[in-house]
Structure formats: C-alpha cells, structure tokens
Chains A and B, each alone.
Chain A
Amino acid sequence: EVQLVESGGGLVQPGGSLRLSCAASGFTFGTYWMNWVRQAPGKGLEWVANIKQDGSEKYYVDSVKGRFTISRDNAKNSLYLQMNSLRAEDTAVYYCARGAVTTGYWGQGTLVTVSS
C-alpha cells in the first residue's frame, strides 16, 4: 500500500525557517517525481514545487522561489522541503504528493503556521 507521511510542521515566527519531511513507503520511491502542494486555511490548493526522480530537475511556484528548496533522499525514501524567510501567507497545510503531471497519491498533510 502506498503511504506518504508528512512531518515537521508547527508554529514559526515570520522570517523563520522550517524543514518538512515526507516518508514514503509501498512503492519504489526513486522512480517517481514528487511534489509539495499546500492549502491555506479555507482556501484552495496551490502547487508549491516538484522534483525529478534523481533530483536533477526542480521547479517552484514563483511565490516561493529563492526561499524554499525541495530535495529528496532516495536511499531513505524521503522528500523534503526547506522553508526559509517564512511569511504569514505561507501558513497552510502542506501535502506531499506522488507523480509528475498527475498526483495520484497524497499524504494527510502537515500544518505550518507562521505567526508572531
């Protein structure tokens, strides 16, 4: 069974940093593109970033470029999102999702709250 389990969310002050993790199981992690998608409270889904199987290609939504970094460790079946210079508007549930142009599997999400 495919499982994606996010962790690392929490309360952080504006300007602070946080690192999210996603532990994958039930499939060959290193053969899939992976994504981070977020959802602000009461708002819609927003694609944040994705990364190719070998980490050689990474893409980001404009609003996080230069602040967020997506990475992966295929040996540990894990996906990461390093978030720096956090802003109030980054407050959201962050989902890890599998797939290139279609995301068929999603984790349950981890909540990031940016507030003083």
Chain B
Amino acid sequence: QSALTQPASVSGSPGQSITISCTGTSSDVGGYNYVSWYQQYSGKAPKLMIYDVSNRPSGVSNRFSGSKSGNTASLTISGLQAEDEADYYCSSYTSSSTRVFGTGTKVTVL
C-alpha cells in the first residue's frame, strides 16, 4: 500500500498550463479507471476535481482535465489562475479493494 508518486511542487504563470503526474503500479492506477483528483486549500477539506480518470463533477471548471497512460495518471490545469494555488492529490482504487492517495503536489502561481 505505497502512496502514489507525485511531484512535490509544480509552478506556472497566470494563463499557462501545468500538468501534475501521478505514478502507481498495475495494481492501482494502471489496473483500473478509478483515478480521482482532489484540490485542498490549507486547513480545508479536500474537494473533488476529477473522477474516473477524466470526468469533471458538476461545478468544476473545464480548465481542469484528467488523463491516464499505463501506470501514470495526469491532471492538467489550463489557463492557470491565482485561485488554483493549492495542494493537489490523486487517488486510485487498488487490487486489494482499498484506496491509495498520492504524495501530493503543491501548485504555485508565479
């Protein structure tokens, strides 16, 4: 049950696009289309941004998109805005019927 691997930090200027990777194994990310992404502001509860690899919940900006290739999932934020500055976590279902989160990525808007 090792955490999924994410870069510790990613940064970009307003208007740019950034991509956050989430690397697991064939027993989690690569084996199921059950990858989700969460945004978390300091001291607040996480918010669901993407589910089932690439689906956006109602109310989430279409600037957020998700994809997967092999054992690596990705979250792309296009048209970066100051309000996107937060921590982001991926999560996946696993072959043990458990769930695992990523190590987390701090997004900084320059």
Residues of A within 8 A of B (CB): 35, 37, 44-47, 50, 57, 59-62, 95, 101-104, 106-109
B3 at the A/B interface (Cβ < 8 Å)?
yes
Alpha-carbon distance A37/B46, docked complex (angstroms): 10
**B23 CB to nearest chain A CB (Å):** 15
Interface residues on B, range: 20 to 34
Binds A, one of B68-76, B77-85, B91-99: B91-99
Task: Provide a sorted-by-A list of 7 A–B residue pairs whose CB atoms are within 8 angstroms.
Answer: A45-B46, A45-B89, A47-B99, A50-B98, A59-B97, A60-B98, A101-B34
Residues of B within 8 A of A (CB): 1, 3, 32, 34, 36, 38, 40, 45-48, 51-52, 57, 87, 89, 91, 93, 96-104
Alpha-carbon distance A60/B48, docked complex (angstroms): 22
Q: Check B93–A107 contact: CB distance below 8 A.
A: no
Alpha-carbon distance A61/B94, docked complex (angstroms): 11
Alpha-carbon distance A104/B52, docked complex (angstroms): 12
Cβ–Cβ < 8 Å partners of A102 in chain B: 34, 36, 48, 51-52, 91
Q: B33 — nearest CB in chain A belongs to which residue? A: A101
Alpha-carbon distance A10/B1, docked complex (angstroms): 28
Alpha-carbon distance A101/B29, docked complex (angstroms): 12
Q: Check B103–A61 contact: CB distance below 8 A.
A: no
Alpha-carbon distance A102/B48, docked complex (angstroms): 8
Cβ–Cβ < 8 Å partners of A47 in chain B: 91, 98-101
Alpha-carbon distance A109/B45, docked complex (angstroms): 7
